[in-house]
Structure 1
């Protein structure tokens, strides 16, 4: 793998990378803390939570394979050139591990806290099954000929697709409820900053190497950052512009609880 040409750019690359790690990692905690304080997950879309965990698992496999596996790195060099730098940084590994753990813990909170009348949709459950079966078929195809780079590239495509899909149920749910209550704006703001830092980190590496191969060699990382930024802008608009007065009315959680109580009485 290639080495750095400029020390200042290398420093900027590391600072941006670990800034993205800190922002994206901390972004999980506002939602976890909000769930804990309310003892409720009403307002957090379950489709988002499940698809996010599946996405993070695939992203972890991709990052660890490209960073640690000599076979995968050799195949990457054969395809993009052995003088290219590894597009996966150590901060990507650290984030992926942390993301899987916190995403799993969020699902645990969903299992133990008040859910109101919310539940996982059949579409999300079916999509999860399809993704798992597809990945299993790809493993069977790649294994005989050791096409590991092709395999993790498929995983990378899957995690990008899930990144796009996972935000949609939450955005739609906020729209239907005309409220962002139960959905942490702290998560959104930190996710936005992490996406920007992640995007700029890739730009720093391209500038230093005088090549854009690190970007289209790891296009998934770029797309995840861009998609996250775009959806975060939507959530910010929902929270601060469209539904900023929603807290002036009766709490949506209280309405759901009252509806559930009335239904039980009937």
Structure 2
């Protein structure tokens, strides 16, 4: 069983880990509070939220199974080395649980608050269905040989793909509206802080163990941080540099604003309601 070589680095590791947890967890609340105060979700892209729920659900499955399952941990060490530390910490599991709950609550707000003419696109629904169908097929494939590490790696891959895709609708909506009104920048600032802390935590573990297996052994966590930071910087530029102080207009009555979903097909312009 791997252990820490430096108590000081272990403490720093825990500090960075729980800093990421706090930052990422709190990052959900500015948008929830903004929706509640406005009694409207106009300006928040629904595709972003739907894809985000699949992303966090997949990440929860990966983190929880690798953290709690001794069988999966054994397969991990057989693949990467018996002396390697498991690359998932308690803060990763705690964050994933919290993220699923808060994202689901945001979807609930979308269902009850003013939406204008915004809808969830058929392509987003298709992407979500394809992701879970692929996961189900992989479960069937993994069962005979008990390939649990490979299976949870599939869920990790799904969360990476969803992380890349989920930001695009909101970024494009901001660009098309020339405004970030209705989308909380507080969410993004906290998300950026969490991404940097998450990357720092992985680095500290690698320094202590004198091994970079922590990075390629959990490539999903690494890409999660890098992709999040990349898009957070885009949103920050949109809010503070490109469209500072620009409003999309006073929050309209139901049906007055024509803000279409950002992921849509030219062959199927109509979209489904949430």
TM-score by length of 1: 0.95
Q: Which residue does the alignment assign to 1:194?
A: 194
Is the 2:40–2:113 contact (alpha carbons within 8 Å) kept by the matching residues of 1?
Answer: yes
Q: Which residue does the alignment assign to 1:146?
A: 146
Within 5 Å, give how 1:8-87 maps onto structure 2.
Answer: 8-87=8-87
Is the 2:117–2:256 contact (alpha carbons within 8 Å) kept by the matching residues of 1?
Answer: no
CA distance in 2, matches of 1:177, 1:185: 16
What is the total number of aligned residue pairs between the two structures?
258
Within 5 Å, give how 1:1-266 maps onto structure 2.
Answer: 1-247=1-247, 250-251=249-250, 253-254=251-252, 258=256
CA separation of 1:244 and 1:84: change in aligned 2, threshold 3 A: same
CA distance in 2, matches of 1:13, 1:259: 47
Query: Displacement, 1:254?
Result: 3.1
Is the 2:114–2:254 contact (alpha carbons within 8 Å) kept by the matching residues of 1?
Answer: no
Is the 2:23–2:191 contact (alpha carbons within 8 Å) kept by the matching residues of 1?
Answer: yes
Q: Unaligned regions of 5+ residues in structure 1, if any?
A: 261-266
Query: Displacement, 1:232?
Result: 0.2
CA distance in 2, matches of 1:259, 1:166: 23
CA distance in 1, matches of 2:136, 2:256: 45
Partner-residue secondary structure (3-state), 1:246: coil
CA separation of 1:237 and 1:255: change in aligned 2, threshold 3 A: farther
Query: Displacement, 1:250?
Result: 3.4
CA distance in 2, matches of 1:259, 1:144: 53
Q: Which residue does the alignment assign to 1:263?
A: none
Is the 2:131–2:158 contact (alpha carbons within 8 Å) kept by the matching residues of 1?
Answer: yes
Query: Displacement, 1:49?
Result: 0.2
CA distance in 1, matches of 2:181, 2:239: 9
Query: Displacement, 1:179?
Result: 0.5
Query: Displacement, 1:57?
Result: 0.5
Is the 2:51–2:162 contact (alpha carbons within 8 Å) kept by the matching residues of 1?
Answer: yes
Query: Displacement, 1:8?
Result: 1.1
Q: Which residue does the alignment assign to 2:269?
A: none
Q: Which residue does the alignment assign to 1:264?
A: none
Partner-residue secondary structure (3-state), 1:254: coil
Partner-residue secondary structure (3-state), 1:179: coil
Q: Which runs of 4+ in 1 moved over 6 A?
A: none
Q: Unaligned regions of 5+ residues in structure 2, if any?
A: 259-274
TM-score by length of 2: 0.92
1:51-99 Cα offsets, whole Å, 9 max, x none, are 0001100000000111000110010010001100010000000000000
